[in-house]
Amino acid sequence: MSSKQTVAIAGSGNIAQYLTEEFLADGTYHVAIISRTDREFFHKPGVTFHVVKEYSTATIVPILDGYDTTALISTLQGADPEWYTSVHEILLASCVESKKCKRFISSEYQGNLRHQPNLPRGNHRARQAFRAKLAAQKEIQATLVLQGWLADYWVQPADESKSYIRPFPNGWPIDLDQKTVRIPGTGDEPIGWTATRDMAKAVVKLISYDGDWPDHTYVFGELGTWNEAIPKLEKFLGRKLERTYRPKEDIDAALAQTEDFDRWYTATMDEWNVLGARPCLGMRLSSCARRFSRMCTLEILRRFWQAPRRRRSCRERCR
């Protein structure tokens, strides 16, 4: 048996890819992936991939105990409240039943939940029941990792060539292929952007921390506004983007038209931009925080374009 500490990751999507790479880069971890879908990406030294027919305590607990796993991280996401709640209850119960896996990170990866817990609306609908259950339990140390917007979207054309993170055209307001940007609100609302790799690095640091976890772990790379950031993007690209502002009243009107799901969904993300798409600042910095140098928007762009999928540096904040 390896002397390395084992961390288990539920799910084999894009965030799991970055987490796996950063745990391996740290050099002190073995990663066990638990997924219903096999992916060649994870077939590499230091990783064991477990394909399960279903997520259940019967399938997950033996995997956790087989490696003396100490932490389980979920990257499983879905819009259906019943499914999201059920699968995360199973993951939490697996930690409770396991011998040593007493730390759990549920799948959140969004913005300021402390002050805007109801946004984005679709995520709140899917996750609110499990959030309440997680907050009420005392058997497992658990935290929600929250980073604001994933900065990968800044440089992600439709061909997905610059990041593992897939394009998000229904939510992200910039379309590099069409050279357009939809700016929610006035454009002066505070926003946070964090590269997925930076968020993954912060999770590695969090796992290594021996003290108690906060209920929310905030990570951020760049803080600013759309009005500040778009000119930097235009300067970097050497071309202008066609800008369209979407005032709060237009967003509210679209939110009221629930029969048009695509329009409604985009409006929920625009609302999040206006009200909650940044980390929770002004908090006491706990002893579990790790300080890293922050990246400005231009540095975010430069690192992604010059070295795809290899951006460094972040700052982690905890309550």
Q: Concatenated DSSP letters for 111-139?
A: S-TTT-TT-SHHHHHHHHHHHHHHHH--S
CA dihedral of residues 262, 199, 183, 81 (deg, nearest 10): 30
User: Average pLDDT of 101-118?
Assistant: 95
CA distance 109 to 218: 9
- Stated as kind and residue range, the H or E segment containing 63 is helix 57-66
Pairing label, strands 216-220, 315-318: antiparallel
pLDDT reported for residue 51: 98
Model pLDDT for residues 33-84, shown as the tens digit of each residue: 999 999 999 999 999 999 999 999 999 999 999 999 999 999 999 999 999 9
- Residue 298 clears pLDDT 70, i.e. is over it: no
The partner residues of 226 in beta bridges, in order of sequence, read: none
Q: Is 73 helix (H, G, I), strand (E, B) or coil?
A: strand
- Residue 303 clears pLDDT 80, i.e. is over it: no
For residue 282, the one-letter residue type is G
For residue 63, the one-letter residue type is I
Model pLDDT for residues 144-183, shown as the tens digit of each residue: 999 999 999 988 776 767 889 999 999 999 999 899 999 9
- Residue 185 clears pLDDT 70, i.e. is over it: yes
CA dihedral of residues 17, 20, 26, 29 (deg, nearest 10): 180
Cβ atoms 315, 201 nearer than 8 A: no
Q: Is 47 helix (H, G, I), strand (E, B) or coil?
A: strand
Q: Return the closest-CA partner of residue 101 out of 133, 131, 76, 67.
A: 67
User: Average pLDDT of 273-277?
Assistant: 89
**Share above pLDDT 70 across residues of the chain, in percent, rounded to a whole number:** 86
Model pLDDT for residues 190-213, shown as the tens digit of each residue: 999 999 999 999 999 999 999 999
